């Protein structure tokens, strides 16, 4: 049997903080629609040989340095290695700007005080979760939701930022239930692969995942709910004929409520009819990093030429980097992409860094149909969009959003092979129950 502790706290920032997620916001936040949460699930094998922690925060992104600092604090206090701490964010676009301004966000202000305080809050929540430890029985089930649509509509071989009813989307809603010894429900963990980008207003909010959590908690008294964001970087809710048209609608918050309630009811339906016990009590974690690089590295003279170009995004990117580098630009040769695996009984969590498109999660589940596999994006650090190789010729935001991160160019096309081979390595280690 596995022991589980859980705790959470509110981490809503002060009104007036700048929000991330949308570069077209030209003013700071003006109010709070609903509160942001920081949650910690602490897991321990009954023989106390293994401990693992899952940290989930309602944020649009987290940097590698922030996550590494949190993990160092947890190691100092409780001896936890980085492979024992899975850090994940729900990706609500109504949360604070999480890094120093980059191309497109030059007008915004980053609050280091808020994110330093967020680490302190998580440490206290971790302490409470550790004190909350008790034996639990685990159950697993998978529902389905058609809430999400692909936002990659291909017209004449090129991507258009609009709903594609035939596009690649992961409809699975995996659900994990932890029950106390008296049979009562302690925790409901659920996942779905879809962008929380229904609204781009100036109110702080956990978006539709927050609505879903709250409704589940109301319907099951005494329980708490944790949401994990799947591999859904190219999936959205509520797209009309285009993504931009979505943000012109006046009923955005009504749609947020409707989407959250729809997802919650799918979870509740799964809990009522599709849950099976988890017999295995293995607890293991493993991380493996790969290092994707870029297609090419422009010199300063090229940046100067592109700064004068007609492409608004490209010109803005080039001007930003010219100010950053007074001489020849110093580009990173590659970026660390840390994949985190967690085995909870016979449930396998596979967490990717950055914004991974739906096809990655679907391919993993197709290759391992007998595994209870929960595939996640938005873990460890926000390194940008991770497209499929087939998307390069089609173009689109998932391929070309590299400017937002100040990168020199698109990822090299071998990124798909790197990510998939790394994920397979992590899964293999977890199947064997290995830990470092």
Task: Show the 3-state SS of the chain.
Answer: CEEEEEEEEECCCCCCCCECCCCCCCCCCCEECCCCEEEEEEEEECCCCCEEEEEEECCCCCCHHHHHHHHHHHHHHHCCCHHHEEEEECCCCCCECCCCCCCCCCCCCCCHHHHHHHHHHHHHHHHHHHHCCEEEEEEEEEEECCCCEEEEEEECCEEEEEEECCCCCCCEEEEEEEECCCCCEEEEEEEECCECCCCCCCEECCHHHHHHHHHHHHHCCCCEEEEEEECCCCEECCCCCCHHHHCCCCCHHHHHHHHHHHHHHHHHHHHHHCCEECCCCCEEEEEEEECCEECCCCCHHHHHHHHCCCCHHHHHHHHHHHHHCCCCCCCCCECCEEEEEEEECCEEEEECCCEECHHHHHHHHHHCCCCEEEEECCECCCCCEECCHHHCCCCCHHHHHHHHHCCCCCECCCHHHHHHHHHHHHHHHHHCCCCC
Centre a 10 Å sphere on the Cβ of residue 38 and count the other Cβ atoms it contains.
Answer: 22
Centre a 10 Å sphere on the Cβ of residue 326 and count the other Cβ atoms it contains.
Answer: 8
Q: Distance (Å, rounded) from C-alpha 228 to C-alpha 384? A: 18
- Of the CA atoms within 13 Å of residue 181, those in its CB half-sphere come to 6
Q: Distance (Å, rounded) from C-alpha 344 to C-alpha 350? A: 11
Centre a 10 Å sphere on the Cβ of residue 222 and count the other Cβ atoms it contains.
Answer: 9
Q: Which residues of the chain have pLDDT under 50?
A: none
Q: Distance (Å, rounded) from C-alpha 148 to C-alpha 4? A: 31
Where do we find the tokens 């749609």? 255
Whether 238 contacts 195, CB under 8 Å: no
Q: Distance (Å, rounded) from C-alpha 174 to C-alpha 274? A: 10
Whether 366 contacts 240, CB under 8 Å: no
Q: Distance (Å, rounded) from C-alpha 68 to C-alpha 70? A: 5
Q: Distance (Å, rounded) from C-alpha 202 to C-alpha 210? A: 17
Give the tokens for residue 235.
Answer: 């999936």
| Reported pTM | 0.96
Residues listed for the chain: 436
Q: Distance (Å, rounded) from C-alpha 70 to C-alpha 41? A: 15
Query: CA separation (Å) from 235 to 127, 166, 174, 338, 376?
Result: 35, 12, 17, 23, 13
* pLDDT confidence of residue 169: 96
* pLDDT confidence of residue 165: 86
Q: Distance (Å, rounded) from C-alpha 268 to C-alpha 250? A: 29
Q: b/e for 282-320, b at 16 or more Cβ within 10 A?
A: bbbbbbbebebbbeeebeeeebeebbeeeeeeeebbbbb
Give the CA dihedral 131, 136, 142, 146, nearest 10 degrees: -30
Residues 6+ apart with CB under 8 A from 250: none
pLDDT digits (tens, 9 = 90+) for 309-355: 999 999 999 999 999 999 999 999 999 999 999 999 999 999 999 99
- Give the phi and the psi of residue 179 in degrees, each rounded to 5: -110, 145
Query: CA separation (Å) from 251 to 199, 206, 238, 255, 412?
Result: 9, 17, 11, 6, 40
């Amino acid at each position: 049997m596995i022991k589980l502790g859980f705790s959470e706290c509110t981490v809503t920032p002060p009104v007036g903080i700048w929000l991330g997620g949308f570069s077209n916001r030209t003013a700071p936040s003006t109010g709070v629609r609903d509160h942001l949460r920081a949650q910690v699930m602490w897991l321990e094998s009954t023989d106390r040989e293994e401990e693992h922690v899952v940290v989930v925060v309602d944020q649009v992104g987290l940097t590698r340095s922030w996550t590494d600092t949190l993990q160092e604090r947890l190691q100092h206090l409780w001896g936890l290695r980085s492979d024992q701490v899975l850090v994940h964010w729900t990706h609500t676009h109504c949360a604070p700007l999480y890094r120093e301004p980059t191309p497109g966000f030059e007008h915004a202000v980053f609050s280091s005080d808020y994110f330093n305080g967020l680490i302190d809050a998580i440490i206290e929540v971790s302490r409470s979760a550790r004190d909350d430890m008790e034996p639990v029985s685990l159950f697993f089930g998978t529902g389905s939701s058609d809430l999400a649509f692909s936002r990659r509509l291909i017209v004449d071989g090129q991507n258009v930022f609009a709903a594609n009813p035939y596009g690649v989307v992961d409809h699975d809603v995996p659900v994990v239930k932890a029950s106390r010894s008296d049979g009562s429900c302690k925790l409901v963990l659920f996942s779905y692969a879809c962008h929380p980008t229904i609204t781009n207003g100036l109110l702080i909010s956990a978006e539709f995942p927050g609505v879903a959590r709250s409704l589940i908690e109301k319907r099951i008294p005494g329980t708490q709910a944790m949401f994990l964001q799947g591999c859904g970087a190219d999936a959205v809710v509520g797209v009309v004929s285009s993504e931009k048209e979505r943000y012109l609608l006046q009923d955005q918050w009504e749609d947020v409520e409707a989407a959250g309630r729809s997802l919650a009811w799918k979870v509740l339906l799964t809990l009522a009819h599709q849950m099976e016990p988890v017999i295995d009590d293995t607890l293991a974690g493993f991380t493996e990093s790969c290092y994707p690089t870029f297609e090419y590295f422009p010199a300063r003279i090229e940046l100067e030429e592109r700064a004068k170009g007609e492409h608004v995004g490209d010109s803005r990117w080039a001007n930003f980097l010219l100010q950053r580098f007074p001489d020849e630009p110093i580009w990173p040769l590659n970026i660390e992409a840390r994949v985190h695996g967690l085995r909870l009984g016979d449930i396998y969590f596979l967490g990717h860094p950055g914004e991974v498109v739906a096809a990655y999660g679907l391919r993993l589940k197709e290759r391992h149909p007998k595994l209870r596999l929960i595939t996640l994006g938005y873990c460890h650090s926000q390194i940008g969009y991770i497209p499929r190789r087939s998307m390069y010729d089609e173009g689109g935001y998932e391929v070309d959003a590299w400017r937002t991160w100040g990168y020199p160019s698109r990822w090299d096309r071998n990124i798909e092979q790197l990510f998939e081979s790394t994920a397979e390595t992590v899964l293999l280690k977890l199947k064997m129950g290995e830990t470092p």
